[in-house]
Amino acid sequence: MSENMRYFLLHTFVILILLLFSSCGRIGLDRGKDVNIKYREKNPIEVMKVDSAFGNVEIIGWAKDFIEINTNKVLLSGFTQDVDLMDTLFNVDANELQIRTKIPARVEGKINLKIYVPFILSKVFVYSKNGDVFINKFIGDAEITNNSGNINMFFQGNILRVDSYKTNINLYIKSYNSNDIVINNENGNTNINIETVAKHSFLDIKSLNGDINLYTSFDIDHKLTAFNKNDSILLKYDLLDKIFIEKEYNILSGHKGSNNNLTIDIFNENGKIILNLANEKQLKKIMNDMTVF
């Protein structure tokens, strides 16, 4: 074999090797790869259950009579074809829609869900292992379990249950039917803003290693019990005299007004409790900031 032929073959082999490594590099480092898929459920559904492995869950109420789900698969690292291993499973059982995202352990990615639901949907269950939860314009009941994310919710329903860990909660309550709201939050701050509630409503807040900030409207009559184990309760108004003063307590009970429409029970350990009367302008600003997702 001539010297020129050897040089040609060696040169060709080197080029092929470089092209192969270049191709593998593109496959292995193609970050941010995402795929959007839409699902529509037209059967009458009363209950929806969402089980999210990793990714954000956004639920929005609308006037249409069907559920529309937009799924966004995002590959954070790895091979491009790994995006095909991530999936969202849908199952209808009688009047219940079950949604579950599936991401293999070796795949680094997330699936974001944006779900539009009819106003007539009565209840949603959300279990989020890692990601934020947003709920807006939904007028039904909700049960939320969240780890390592944030919850932003505009609550207009009747019953709400939140059990969370390493979660910052921003909850705005504007409901004429509410009667039972229970919040358990560990290692996260809890911000609750109350514009309107139904008569004889009950609000139970428990926090460990996080602050509780509660804003209530001037117009809400309520009775309150608050206990803070390791810190003080900062009160921006006197419960009995309704005079704007600041006081610090560790245990506080009393009532504002005479109708006692809302019962508030607060327990906190290793965090502050801050209670405020809020005017309409304050609450509207908070609501606008929360509902622009």
pLDDT at 31 over 60: no
Spatial CA neighbour of 54 closest among 98, 107, 125, 91: 107
- Determine what percent of the chain is predicted with pLDDT higher than 70: 85
pLDDT in tens, 122-158: 999 999 999 999 999 999 999 999 998 999 999 999 9
pLDDT in tens, 88-104: 999 999 999 999 999 99
- Which two tokens mark 258? 């005479």
Q: What is the pTM of this model?
A: 0.85
The C-alpha angle with vertex 23 and arms to 22 and 29, in degrees rounded to 5, equals 85
Of 63 and 176, more confident? 63
Confidence at residue 21, expressed as pLDDT on a 0 to 100 scale: 41
Confidence at residue 29, expressed as pLDDT on a 0 to 100 scale: 38
Domain extents in the chain:
27-119, 132-293
The DSSP line for 24-73 is HHHHHT-TTEEEEEEEEE-S--SEEEEEESSS-EEEEEESSSSEEEEEEE
Confidence at residue 240, expressed as pLDDT on a 0 to 100 scale: 60
The DSSP line for 160-213 is EEEEEEEEEEEEEEE-SS--EEEEEEESS-EEEEEEE--TTEEEEEEEESS-EE
The confidence band for 2, taking pLDDT boundaries of 50, 70 and 90, is low
- Which two tokens mark 149? 């994310």
pLDDT in tens, 51-79: 999 999 999 999 999 999 999 999 998 88
DSSP secondary structure code for residue 9 in this structure: H
